């Protein structure tokens, strides 16, 4: 196997900043979740996967912000299934 060095990501990137302004302008889109809320959701989910009691703030915010939200486990389809 040969790896093409053109596809290496540069190391030592000092500053990365996402900018959703193009999506906001072109798609008339705005995020439903602020960054600190996303961190809370991810922290709660990771702690839950580890079997550790989570603070729950992130998981409580999901049904409040997204009425049609369902747990991810119910939407996963295994490649081993039929």
Q: Establish if 64 belongs to a structural domain.
A: yes
**H/E stretch holding 21:** helix 21-27
Domain that holds residue 29: 21-72
Residue 75 and residue 1: Cα distance in Å, rounded? Answer: 35
Q: Establish if 30 belongs to a structural domain.
A: yes
Q: Establish if 9 belongs to a structural domain.
A: no
DSSP letter string, 44-82: HHHHHHTT-----HHHHHHHHH-TT---GGGG---TT--
CA distance between the termini of the chain: 33
11-65 tens-digit pLDDT: 777 787 888 888 889 998 888 888 888 899 888 888 888 888 888 888 888 777 7
How many domains does the chain contain in total?
A: 1
Q: Please, which pLDDT band fits residue 69 given cuts at 50, 70 and 90? A: low
């Amino acid at each position: 196997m040969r790896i093409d060095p053109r596809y290496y990501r540069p190391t030592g990137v000092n500053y990365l900043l996402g900018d959703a302004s193009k999506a906001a302008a072109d798609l008339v889109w705005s995020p439903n979740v602020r960054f600190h809320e996303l961190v809370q959701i991810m922290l709660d989910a990771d702690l839950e996967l580890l079997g550790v009691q989570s603070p729950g703030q992130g998981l409580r915010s999901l049904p409040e912000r997204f009425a049609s939200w369902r747990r991810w486990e119910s939407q996963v389809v295994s490649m081993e299934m039929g």
